[in-house]
Chain A
């Protein structure tokens, strides 16, 4: 027997940033929530549900806003959804306003704006515990009487009052209506709020002493900067090395699975596709998960504790010169580990233009996947001449490549912000909320949501890309000549593959940079993942040693080709290739994530194009000078 259809309610959560709205949303819905995008705009769409007493309640966590006069894309979404004007999104049946009890003086005018919409509305007051701890006391019954609508006090991170709130949400038709709302403009709403607050406040809240003391240190002109640098170092270290063991475990397990498949199933191209194409392709996706989880755990903790706003304050002057704001710094920094989590981190940037500019330049940051390529090329073409103390010419070259990426990222961000992403930029204002200890369960839920989003959307594209590239490198299947060694057989295979055909047809484009078809195959291979460049090249040049040992392979590259007598790769080509790797977007995963984060193919295609153009020009200049 089918159960009777349950009544459904759709309720929107609206509130200012830092009001505890998302924590409350997570406390209400737990893991029964999904994140997506509103159609056509890159604004997070968070929806969840809970079921109680046979009623299904759908909750929408609308983007935070300080008023209903939207000045940014995400605020516009909130306003349009509340008015029922957003195409394809039904107006909510009821509204829950989430307001921080300690900042009612600022948020009451917006509460009035929402109440004036005339829908069933409930006011959830968060941070009730903090209000008390800071000596404040608000008469919630009086507030209910004055506003007319139900008022519920909650402590979202400890779940207090959440049960009561859930019960109230079951039937918004029972909610009492608002009364005595202010007419007129913002100024008159503030006047109304001031007089109302006087009537319901038993004792005003005092400033947070802890926040004052911590800010004296964290926002100090000197120490604040040093602490920020320490925070950055910690961050960098965490993503670079602490995610490493987990990534190695994942990668190792999938490698074993691939090897097991090769050993167990009959030797055929289908087995190779399964093992090398699909299983290792899955590996290329899950290998990002530890980095993404760790990065978001750190960012969300910094955000929820209040430090992120301080970090943005500390670097605002520098970033302001570029035309970006402080938050963009963190996303750019994360891109040094990998552009994939870095680009996902841009979600915390409020201004869509700043966010897009950050996404467009993030891949210039030298990600860890470029290191093996740099290591190979530097050890082949740069002598280990000591320069000063332990510093060698090789080390300086590597640093130069890092710097080139960083300077280019800043330069192009400035160009984009002064050029096509100019126009009415958002006014800059940054609330510095009191320091708070974040709700760990809420953070865990948010991290999980990010990981699931990555696996679901970007993961599919990465997997598909890996499989297509594998097919390119391994088809058509050609039998090796008699008596060929394993490395010669591999070389024979790749020389007759679709990728080789493509590599040869790309020669007119890459010849001015000094690349022959063999290097072109390497570039095609590096598209699946930059680190694949080295293994693909090893296959092309029939290198028999272990690719982990850079020196042997580097030595092979500089040796003379037995057929032509020329070196396998000239120094000019090597330098040109290094520069090409600084600029080119040789990464299918990044493209997949940009497509996902910008909700379409327009920006990833633009990014691929402009970065290729810059890479080509820079590599061309390098080659012409060096040759």
Chain B
């Protein structure tokens, strides 16, 4: 199966995914990496605020809220069977 590359902003569709990489190399990308979005990390969708508000994901044993802008920096692949 070929993995689909999407961003964390679309995580709701998959429910669960694996981090491929964090795009860019500015402070936002650096910080996302330090928060645990490293390649291979499993991320679960928890919830999303309405009207384009922030989304909550579960990774590395904790819950984190991100705005769509930051979430788009995280490239993910679906782990399969979770659609």
Contact = CB atoms under 8 A, between A and B. Distances in A.
A429 B46 CA distance: 15
A102 B63 CA distance: 12
A429 B53 contact: no
Contacts of A309: 65
A436 interface: no
Contacts, number: 107
B31 A429 contact: yes
A204 B61 CA distance: 9
A368 B44 CA distance: 46
A430 B54 contact: yes
A103 interface: yes
Contact of B31 (A104, A105, A427): A427
A600 B66 CA distance: 34
Interface stretch (B10-18, B33-41, B75-83): B33-41
A316 B65 CA distance: 10
B34 A313 contact: no
Contacts of A424: 27
B38 A106 contact: no
B1 interface: no
A427 B61 contact: no
Nearest to B69: A428
Contacts of A317: 49-54
Nearest to B56: A432
Nearest to B49: A317
Given A66-B35, A69-B30, A316-B49, A106 B62 contact: yes
Given A219-B47, A432-B56, A320 B67 contact: yes
A189 to B, nearest CB: 9
A106 B38 CA distance: 11
A187 B38 contact: yes
Residue among B28, B32, B38 facing the most chain A CB atoms (10 A cut-off): B38
Interface in A184-210: 186-187, 190-191, 204-205, 207
Contacts of A432: 56, 62-65
Contacts of B47: 215, 219
Contact of A106 (B35, B53, B65): B35
A64 to B, nearest CB: 13
Given A67-B31, A71-B27, A190-B36, A433 B53 contact: no
Contacts of B33: 186-187
Contact of A316 (B30, B38, B53): B53
A: interface residue count bin: 35 or more
A109 interface: yes
A211 to B, nearest CB: 8
Contacts of A207: 58, 61
Contacts of A191: 38
A215 to B, nearest CB: 7
Given A71-B31, A186-B38, A428-B70, A433 B62 contact: yes
B28 to A, nearest CB: 4
Contacts of B62: 102-103, 106, 431-433
Given A71-B27, A317-B49, A431 B64 contact: yes
Interface string A155-186: 00000000000000000000000000000001
A429 B60 contact: no
Interface in A83-134: 102-106, 109-110
A221 B60 contact: no
Contacts of A205: 61
Residue among A109, A191, A429, A431 facing the most chain B CB atoms (10 A cut-off): A429
Contacts of A190: 36, 38, 41
A588 interface: no
Given A316-B49, A424-B27, A430-B54, A106 B36 contact: yes
A432 B61 CA distance: 11
Contact of B30 (A71, A314, A433): A71
A105 B65 contact: no
Interface in A217-262: 219, 221
Contacts of B60: 103, 105-106
Residue among B32, B50, B61 facing the most chain A CB atoms (10 A cut-off): B61
Interface string A18-48: 0000000000000000000000000000000
Interface in A409-442: 424, 426-433
Contact of A69 (B34, B50, B54): B34
Contacts of B39: 187
Given A71-B30, A313-B49, A428 B66 contact: yes
A109 B60 CA distance: 12
Contacts of B49: 219, 221, 313-314, 316-317
A204 B42 CA distance: 15
Interface of B: 27-28, 30-36, 38-39, 41, 46-47, 49-54, 56, 58, 60-67, 69-70
11 contacts: A67-B31, A71-B27, A106-B62, A187-B39, A190-B41, A317-B52, A427-B27, A428-B70, A429-B31, A430-B64, A430-B65
Listed from nearest, the 7 A-B pairs whose CB atoms lie closest are: A427-B28, A317-B53, A67-B34, A432-B63, A430-B65, A105-B60, A71-B27
Given A69-B34, A102-B62, A106-B61, 13 more contacts: A67-B31, A69-B31, A71-B31, A103-B62, A190-B36, A313-B54, A316-B67, A317-B50, A317-B51, A317-B52, A427-B32, A429-B32, A433-B62
